Structure 1
Amino acid sequence: MHKLWASTYKEFLLLTRDIGGLAVLFLMPILLVITITTIQDGTFKIIKETKIPVLWVDQDKGEISKTIYDGLANSQTLDLIENASEADAKDLVFKGDYQLAIIIPENLSKDLTQKVDENVTGIMAKFGLEEDSTIAAKTPLEQKEVRLYFDPATQFAFKSSIKNGIDQMIAKVETQSIYKAFQEQISDDPTEVIFEKEPFISFKEIVPEGNEEELIPNSTQHNIPAWTLFAIFFIILPLSINMVKEKNQGTFVRLRTNPISYATVLGGKTLVYLFVSLLQFGLMLLIGVYLFPSIGLPKLDVSGKIPLLFVVAFFAGLAAIGLGLLLGTIAKSQEQSAPFGATFVVILAALGGVWVPVFAMPSFMQTLSKLSPMNWGLEAFYGVFLRNVGFGELLPEISLLFLFFVATAAIAIVYNERKNAV
């Protein structure tokens, strides 16, 4: 035990003298989580509070175009700016002055009303509900297109949301036109209600509950666990670099002359860097709880979750340390350990769902993401923060993280013994 504590103290001195390593471990994750959370929260506020200016060209000037205009104007996300010319609107959008132009075609109201009336009349005649049951020939009508001009730099998500919203609105207008036509054919009393126009099916989002209150996730609860985990795994950089320095400076050679095993040396490093990872995590929680509200960001809710959160952070830290021990054992120079370690952490983060949600990845990448320890840690953190799970539900993820640490540390010990035995 004395040897382990001596190794731990030696590692502590090495770490505290490395100002650059301490900056990577503490300053980098703070700046990262504040920046990312501010950007994402600002995006959410823009979507909710800011109207996007959109050019509106109405070539129809009828009841249908007015209904569509009112629906878009009432959406509280679009600021419709009327423009007389489609060509001008197109040029303004493609120059980047506006993100979108909506063009309503000519005779949309007239042709839609005529088409619906002919269809309704045909149905009524077919069932013998018309006095003249002869089905009249339908007038050939050109299909109408609501043209949308998007700025080429517009993101795909915005395009999809706008197109889906307009498509639903037009479908609603067509349905109401059909109801209205049937109403006029069946009843002479315009005030009589035959068809209910209110939607029968609606949507309601159900979120987890805690203490009889709905737990609505915010940008802080998504970003704190993701980027804290990313920062914890960056431990492998100073850890592996210090191990390479010790080998190059002859420290490991001197250690081999003492009656101390390589496992004890690694044990000292594990204790120091595990403490650092837990300190990192605690600092990030304090920032989320106290700093974020003071700069206008959502407060991190950790009530009743702190013990489970630190359990996950403990095992995530072990997994990161195991990877750092393995890299530091195998690498022969800082030029090998530093670039490889940084790149490998980014790859693990990308696979684990820190950069892009796993469900948005191709099926092959979704399968591959299950091999990333960051995915295990992120799922465990999300389970505590967002899904309100207990310790039992976390066992699969934390077991994988612990086994990953055991496997990487064991490989590092075996590799070191075989290398020194040659």
Structure 2
Amino acid sequence: MLSAIIKEFRLLSRDLHGMVVLFLMPMIFMLIMSIALSQADDVNQNIKLALVGSELNQLNHDVINELMIQQHIHADFFDLTALDKAKQQLINKKYDVLIINVNYQSTSLKDEQPVELLSLASMEQTRLMSLQAIVKNIYLQKRIGTFSTFSSPNEDISGPTPSSQMLTQFLATKIVIDRFINDEGETVIKPSSVQQSVPAWLIFGMFFIMIPLSNVMTGERQTNTITRLRLAKSSAFSLLFAKLIPYFMINQFQFIGMIALGIYFLPIFGIEGFHLYGAFWHYGLLSIAISLSALGYALLVSVLAKTPEHAVVLGGGGNIIMAALGGIMVPSYMMPETMQTISLISPMSWSLKAFHNLLLNQYDFSRILPEWCLLIVFATVFLTLASIIYCRQLKK
């Protein structure tokens, strides 16, 4: 019994690579998720607001004060005459949301217009819903508090008077509404949660092409297939090219399949379907860049891993870490500012940002070129490194 235990420890000592991965990956993942979720209770942290309304309407100033005192949210003020300027600053990402109140001090309840929350279509829906509830509560509290100001002195809101009826009608209306624009200032339809979740999990799935590719390549080494390929004087380039083409096609089928699933299958369950906006070739070029990045990472893991188990742990763990950093598992707005900066190193972050800009903000392809180029550079570097290592393996 003791000998068997000693034998197992000896075997483990020879697998230092696997032991490092086994302990290091969960620790890194735990650290990332703990930091990323450290401020998750405050979904509106770091949000940048501006209220647009009449300078003479004290209600606007009261709302700003309550946002700053109760919610610790800083909000700037623009007069209604500067609405276009405020919209431009929203488009330029200086603000996340504009609170637009077109009502004046003298506006009666029956003529009251809903307060509008204006944001870019890429605004996270959970965050916007939370902000909408906050603004609604504050506005109602302050507006009802000033109700007597706009009512006749002879009216008593506690009884069935015209004023109380007016108040009841007011409370039955939509107090706060939301509207979305793209970076051209054009109104776009409200994005659904499906529009924001499908791209994230699609990208995550494409990077897991690493599992079948690594299984094949580590299997070649274990069965000495790589030795026979070397004796046959096969070029490393042709072998790698032949390997990558099928997996590249699988990635494209993943891309098309996930989108088709969102468009045609989700409505069967009563869920709002997925919609693509803009030219299809924009998404096609983005899919190519994401796939090449995923294949570059997968190939490097495959040539470095000694066994399929190593490849799954190293590659799978790496994918999960990139997803945690890249806003796939935890929306980036929930992370501390330092963490948001660190997340920019993840290729999944570039992919998700580019996809959301095409889909939600309805950018043309030229507007996502920075992220697309980053993905291509990432793919080029990793494919080059993997090719060099594979060539050495063939020679040895």
Q: Please, what TM-score do these two structures have when normalized by structure 2?
A: 0.57
1:405 aligns with 2:379: yes
1:222 aligns with 2:193: no
What secondary structure, in the 3-state scheme, does the structure 2 residue paired with 1:205 have?
A: strand
Q: Distance in 1 between matches of 2:145 and 2:268?
A: 49
Task: Work out which structure has the larger RCO, using CA pairs closer than 8 Å and 6 or more positions apart in sequence.
Answer: 2
Structure 2 residue aligned with 1:172: 143
Cα drift, residue 420 of structure 1 = 5.9
Structure 2 unaligned spans of 5+: 1-125, 155-160, 162-166
1:274 aligns with 2:248: yes
Q: Distance in 2 between matches of 1:251 and 1:368?
A: 41
Cα drift, residue 329 of structure 1 = 0.3
Structure 1 residue aligned with 2:294: 320
Q: Distance in 2 between matches of 1:294 and 1:340?
A: 38
What secondary structure, in the 3-state scheme, does the structure 1 residue paired with 2:180 have?
A: coil
Structure 2 residue aligned with 1:346: 320
Structure 2 residue aligned with 1:231: 205
Determine if contact 1:232/1:320 at 8 Å carries over to the other structure: yes
The equivalent position to 1:288 in structure 2, one of 262, 270, 279, is: 262
Q: Which runs of 4+ in 1 moved over 6 A?
A: 155-164, 180-184
1:396 aligns with 2:367: no
Cα drift, residue 252 of structure 1 = 0.9
Q: Distance in 2 between matches of 1:393 and 1:202?
A: 32
Q: Distance in 2 between matches of 1:242 and 1:402?
A: 25
Q: Which amino acid aligns with 2:311?
A: S
Deviations 1:7-64 (A, max 9, x none): xxxxxxxxxxxxxxxxxxxxxxxxxxxxxxxxxxxxxxxxxxxxxxxxxxxxxxxxxx
Cα drift, residue 267 of structure 1 = 1.3
Cα drift, residue 394 of structure 1 = 2.0
Determine if contact 1:208/1:215 at 8 Å carries over to the other structure: no
Structure 1 residue aligned with 2:227: 253
Determine if contact 2:214/2:301 at 8 Å carries over to the other structure: yes
Q: Distance in 2 between matches of 1:351 and 1:361?
A: 9
Cα drift, residue 158 of structure 1 = 9.6
Change (3 A) 1:166 1:203: closer
Determine if contact 1:262/1:413 at 8 Å carries over to the other structure: yes
Q: Distance in 2 between matches of 1:228 and 1:420?
A: 34
Q: Which amino acid aligns with 1:385?
A: L
The equivalent position to 2:180 in structure 1, one of 203, 206, 211, is: 206
Instruction: Give the alignment of 1:3-22 within 5 angstroms.
Output: none
Q: Which amino acid aligns with 2:380?
A: V
Q: Distance in 1 between matches of 2:232 and 2:182?
A: 57
Compare CA radii of gyration and give the structure with the larger one.
1
Cα drift, residue 421 of structure 1 = 5.8
Instruction: Give the alignment of 1:47-66 within 5 angstroms.
Output: none
Structure 1 unaligned spans of 5+: 1-154, 185-190, 192-196
Q: Distance in 2 between matches of 1:156 and 1:298?
A: 20
Q: Distance in 2 between matches of 1:260 and 1:166?
A: 71
Q: Distance in 2 between matches of 1:225 and 1:162?
A: 27
Change (3 A) 1:389 1:157: closer
The equivalent position to 1:306 in structure 2, one of 246, 257, 280, is: 280
Change (3 A) 1:160 1:284: closer
Q: Please, what TM-score do these two structures have when normalized by structure 1?
A: 0.53
Cα drift, residue 160 of structure 1 = 8.5
The equivalent position to 1:242 in structure 2, one of 199, 207, 216, is: 216
What secondary structure, in the 3-state scheme, does the structure 2 residue paired with 1:356 have?
A: coil
Cα drift, residue 276 of structure 1 = 0.4
Structure 2 residue aligned with 1:265: 239
Cα drift, residue 301 of structure 1 = 1.8
How many pairs are equivalent? 254
Change (3 A) 1:162 1:312: closer
Cα drift, residue 159 of structure 1 = 9.2
Change (3 A) 1:374 1:166: same
Structure 2 residue aligned with 1:26: none
Structure 2 residue aligned with 1:368: 342
